[in-house]
Amino acid sequence: MTWRFDENLPIYTQIISQIKQMITSGRYQPGEKLPSVRDMAQEAGVNPNTMQRALSELEREGLLYTVRTSGRFVTVDQQLIEQIRQNQAQERIRELLRQLLLLGFSREQILELVEHTLQSMMEEQDDDKSITGI
Amino acid sequence: MTTNQLLEFRSVTKRYGAKEALGEVSLKIQPGKIIGLLGPNGSGKTTMIKLINGLLQPTAGQVLIYGQRPGIESKRKISYLPERSYLNDWMRVKDILKFFRDFYQDFNLQKAEEMLENLKIDVNDKLKTMSKGTKEKVQLILVMSREADLYLLDEPIGGVDPAAREYILNTIIGNYRPEASVLISTHLIQDVEKICDEVIFLRQGHIELYDAVDQIRTQRGMSIDQLFREVFKC
């Protein structure tokens, strides 16, 4: 995946949420070793200190851990990863619902719309197996 | 007296005749930071950089590198990319590499060769035959291949196309030592703001703002580029 940043928001919080997403989506597997801070900074095109700050924060949250001599790893705590995945889903759904409610849709209409759209997306995906998510 | 302070300006004033280029500027630069030095034309950016190098002397006040005035010692620690080239056009890249190796103890030849190869620059080429952008790349590679404590980059990416810009900024991120600092003066704020820890806004020889970039984004909800446009609105 490519990193994308909105420059109007703090970069380090955006790094945090993007790494979370890489973990919950399985791009980084549980227990996988992460590249060095510098390599990750280079890949994302951000300052190494900013990357370091984001990684430290993720460590505090328990999503990453450091082994003194060998580097930084993704947690093997599946429950924690699942919990964060749920949080991410909640956040996105809330945002979507907030906007739909703002547009004046009723509860029934929203459910129907979501059901309908999901259905057609699934069909498209069956037609085109190349859609792989990230 | 030496201190651990990488760089300090103590109430530095610089006048060119009657014209004041810097007025009582005081600041301290910490190690391990990438700092954007931003300001409109004629705000004093190059003057500041030349004062740090000892190419200019302050009219009043002091510029201190590790507690000492710029001199032979500080030149060993500072890697400087000037606004204009000082390299001879007739030289081939490989000659310049030798030149740098002989001149600077901290020059990492292997690193330079690696970067040149990544940018597909032939070491047998003469500077004269290169485009403006390629010349700039060569110079930046030379400067970043020194293992210095402070890198002073005066408009490093002005003549380089956007794709190479990205590579060059990545080169900066990947090649400065964690305990070194990089001071970049530029107008291309959008390009550098992601890699900066801090920015200094200069206005007519005075520091308008000196803050951490994520702090600015958090407090003001805008990018550095946007803030710059607002602060320096014509």
Check whether B227 has a pLDDT greater than 70. Answer: yes
Q: What is the C-alpha separation between A23 and A84, in angstroms, rounded? A: 9
Indicate if A16 and A56 belong to the same structural domain: yes
Q: What is the ipTM of this complex?
A: 0.71
A63 within a domain of the structure (yes/no)? yes
The reply to whether A6 falls in a domain is: no
Examine the pLDDT at B2 and tell me if it is beyond 60: no
Compare CB distances from B195 to A8, A9, A47 and report the shortest one's residue.
A47
* Rounded Cα–Cα distance for residues B39 and B192 (Å): 14
Q: How many domains does chain B have?
A: 1
pLDDT value at residue B48: 96
Query: Within this chain, do residues A73 and A84 fall inside the same structural domain, yes or no?
Result: no
% of residues, chain B, pLDDT over 70: 99
Range of the domain at B51: 7-231
Same domain membership, residue A87 and residue A72: no
Assign 3-class secondary structure to A67-126. ECCCEEEECCCHHHHHHHHHHHHHHHHHHHHHHHHHCCCCHHHHHHHHHHHHHHHHHHHH
Q: How far is A50 from chain B (nearest CA, A)?
A: 7
Question: Residue A130 has what pLDDT?
Answer: 58
Cα–Cα distance measured from residue B155 to residue B165, given in angstroms and rounded to the nearest whole number: 12
Using CA atoms, how far apart are residues B198 and B215, in angstroms rounded to an integer?
9
pLDDT tens profile B44-83: 999 999 999 999 999 999 999 999 999 999 999 999 999 8
Same domain, A17 and A69: yes
Contact A49 B223 (CB under 8 A): no
CB hemisphere CA count around B118 (13 angstroms): 14
Give the Cα separation of B8 and B10 in Å (integer): 6
Q: Which single residue is written with the structure tokens 């930046």?
A: B140
Mean pLDDT of chain B: 90
Q: Contacts of residue A50 in chain B, CB cutoff 8 Å?
A: 197, 214
Res A17: pLDDT = 92
Could you list the residue range(s) of the whole structural domain that residue A47 is in? 11-77
User: Does residue A55 contact residue A38 with C-beta atoms inside 8 Å?
Assistant: no
Is the overall model pTM greater than 0.90, yes or no?
A: no
Dist CA B57 CA A69 (whole Å): 47
Domain CATH number, residue B119: 3.40.50.300
CB-defined contacts A:B, below 8 A: 52
The answer to the question of residue B1 being in a domain is: no
pLDDT per residue over A28-73, tens digit each? 999 999 999 989 998 898 999 999 999 999 999 999 999 988 899 9
Same domain? For A71 and A95 the reply is no
Quick one: pLDDT at residue A129?
62
Same-domain status, A69 and A88: no
Nearest to A49 among B169, B174, B197 (CB): B197
Domain match, A23 and A68 both: yes
- The per-residue pLDDT for B3 is 61
Q: Is A94 a member of any domain?
A: yes
Could you tell me if residue A132 is inside a domain?
A: no
Tell whether the model's pLDDT for residue A113 goes beyond 70.
yes
**Residue ranges of chain A whose CB lies within 8 Å of a chain B CB:** 5, 7-12, 38, 41-42, 45-50
- Give CA–CA dist A32/A73, Å, rounded: 5
pLDDT at A103: 94
CA neighbor of B110 nearest in space, from B175, B173, B165: B175
Q: Which of A8, A46, A49 sits opposite B221 (nearest CB)?
A: A8
Number of domains in chain A: 2
pLDDT at A133: 52
- pLDDT of B126 reads 93
The pLDDT-based confidence of A131 (bands split at 50, 70, 90) is low
Pair A15, A23: CB distance under 8 Å = no
DSSP labels, A29-82? PTTPBPPPHHHHHHHHTS-HHHHHHHHHHHHHTTSEEEETTTEEEE---HHHHH
The predicted-structure confidence for B154-193, as pLDDT tens digits, reads as follows 988 877 888 778 888 888 888 777 789 999 998 889 889 8
CB contacts of B170 in chain A (<8 Å) are 42, 45
Per-residue pLDDT for A104 more than 80?
yes
Nearest to B214 among A10, A38, A41 (CB): A10
Task: Return d(Cα A86, Cα B2) in angstroms, integer.
Answer: 55
Pick the closest to residue B163 from B129, B194, B132, B133 (CA basis). B133
In whole angstroms, how far apart are CA B189 and each of B38, B40, B155?
8, 11, 11
**Do the Cβ atoms of B194 and A45 come within 8 Å?**
yes
What letter does residue A13 receive in the DSSP assignment?
H
Q: What is the pLDDT of residue A1?
A: 59
Answer yes or no: is B100 within a domain: yes
Top residue of B173, B191, B216 to mutate, by most chain A CBs within 10 Å, is B173
Structure tokens at B201: 């806004």
> Angle A37-44/A48-60 helices, nearest 10 degrees?
120
